[in-house]
Amino acid sequence: MADVLVPDVLVVDSLVRRFGDLTAVDDVSFRIAPGETYGLLGPNGAGKTTTISMIAGLIAADEGTVTVAGEAMTPRTTAPKRHLGLVPQDLAIYPDLTGRENLTLFGRLQGLTGSELKSRVGEVLELIGLADRAKDRSKEYSGGMKRRLNIGIGLLNRPTLLILDEPTVGVDPQSRNAILESVEALAVEGMAVLYTTHYMEEAERLCDRIGIIDTGQLQAEGTRDELIRLTGGVDTIRIGGSGDLSGAAQELRQLPGVERVDIERRSATLTVKDAPALVAQVVGTAASYGVTLSDVEIARPDLESVFLHLTGKALRD
């Protein structure tokens, strides 16, 4: 049976945006399928906000096109905007209103009324995990709760595509986790999500596919594993200690999944396929040769190494 072709929710084709002499977005193309979470990962100033501002029809592209749910998006068109929920980096909530009042107000502005409005506000409060604080004024919320309320506003119109611009910048780790859980819950509901971040852990955890952006250009895209393969990167296990390391190394070379073993004076470095899966066996083998281990280190390539490989610089500033 032939596969049913589901059209992409978002098609970004050859987008360019210049500010004077600076090309902030330089020929960027990517697509997002329904239910997919796509991460735009890049450092500050890479062009993420400018890209999503064009996708949301807030600013015009100099070149290229954006298609949302099959409709062309420009600052002059309003129809495709009904498919979008945009959660900007800056908070857009009223501090003196409660969480529920904020959502109700924005829901009305988006054309919801009566029982539909009430039930949607209730659903969104659950989705963002603020149902039990709905009656508190938002100025009493923590930074992370305010951010989640900001996300809730973007969800009111049941968007086909939710765009989140660095939603965890400046929030504490616990709130960050709550935000990430909310985004995971949305993906489970089948929403397409475009998530910009400069935190590789977030992109690794949330995103089905990741586009790496730097100096306005999409350097590479793919799943986490596809991107890591680009670096040709491998896992390593390094064991350090005293005893018969050379004897242990001979046996370690025979273990399935071990590609090579390099011995130095008091340490051995194993190049392996899957370090976490092998480490217990490696330690056991070393012990059976009377090696007294003083340290065991696992290193796996991550998106940070991919970024370094592609751009020659670190992702973090």
Ligand X SMILES: Nc1ncnc2c1ncn2[C@@H]1O[C@H](COP(=O)(O)OP(=O)(O)OP(=O)(O)O)[C@@H](O)[C@H]1O
Chain residues that interact with ligand X, rule: CB under 6 A: 19, 22, 24, 42, 44-50, 166
Q: How far apart are CA 212 and CA 201, in angstroms?
A: 14
In this complex, which beta carbon is closest to ligand X, that of residue 40 or of residue 121? 40
Q: Minimal distance in Å, beta carbon 316 to ligand X?
A: 12
Determine contact, residues 69/57, Cβ cutoff 8 Å. no
Determine the Cα–Cα distance for residues 8 and 36; give it in Å rounded to an integer. 10
Nearer to ligand X, 49 or 102 (CB): 49
Nearest to 302 by CA among 160, 179, 208, 205: 205
Q: Which residues contact 63 (CB under 8 A, 6 or more apart)?
A: 14, 15, 16, 27
CB of 169 to ligand X, least distance (A): 8
Cβ closer to ligand X: 40 or 84? 40
What's the helix, strand, coil split of the chain in %, to 5?
Answer: 35, 30, 35
Task: Take residue 259 and report the two structure tokens written for it.
Answer: 């590609």
Name the H helices within the chain.
Answer: 48-55, 99-109, 114-127, 143-155, 173-188, 200-206, 224-230, 245-252, 275-288, 303-311
CB of 198 to ligand X, least distance (A): 6
Least distance in angstroms from the C-beta of 181 to ligand X: 23
Q: Say if CB 165 and CB 52 are below 8 A apart.
A: yes
Closer by beta carbon to ligand X, 54 or else 228: 54
Which CB, 168 or 175, lies closer to ligand X?
Answer: 168
Report the nearest approach of ligand X to the CB of residue 90 (Å).
Answer: 11
3-state secondary structure of 38: strand
Closest approach of Cβ 19 to ligand X, in Å? 3
CB of 206 to ligand X, least distance (A): 17
Task: State whether residue 173 is helix, strand or coil.
Answer: helix
Q: Which residue lies nearer to ligand X by CB, 142 or 217?
A: 217
Comparison of 75 and 111: residue with beta carbon closer to ligand X: 75
